[in-house]
Amino acid sequence: MYRLMVVTFLFLTCTKATTICDVPNFQDTWWQVYFSDVPYGDCYAFLTGGQIIVTDGEETWPKGRWAAESHECYSTIITDDGLVDAYQDGDCLLIVLDDKEYKACACSYDT
């Protein structure tokens, strides 16, 4: 009985702690930066195949390539323009770029 308690204790102390956050799912979705809950500028989509496409609501064009590194609770998106950290924030993303925080939500254009 004593051995079982010791083994159980060791097992419980060695298990990895669970987190209450998700790695953001940003692929194959149109995103637009929002300032004070108002959409601003072009919309961006990070396609599963690694391509970035952009739309201004009228035209759509390729922007470049991307890759991602998943971390606990966030992803680092690597593009030709640099690195962006993305955190899930409800239905939106919290984007950290050059130590500044931005909010990206669903694109306001018909895509």
Q: C-alpha distances in angstroms, 108 versus 10, 19, 31, 60?
A: 52, 32, 9, 14
Select from 87, 91, 90, 80 the least CA-distant residue to 101: 87
Provide the total of helices (H) and of strands (E) in the chain, helices listed first.
1, 8
Q: What pLDDT does residue 62 have?
A: 97
**Residue 13 in this model has a pLDDT that exceeds 80:** no
> Cβ neighbours of residue 66 under 8 Å, at least 6 residues apart?
46, 50, 51, 52, 77, 78, 79
Q: Is residue 9 over pLDDT 50? A: no
pLDDT digits (tens, 9 = 90+) for 18-65: 446 767 789 999 999 999 889 999 999 999 999 999 999 999 999 999
* Percent of the chain residues topping a pLDDT of 90: 68
pTM over 0.85: no
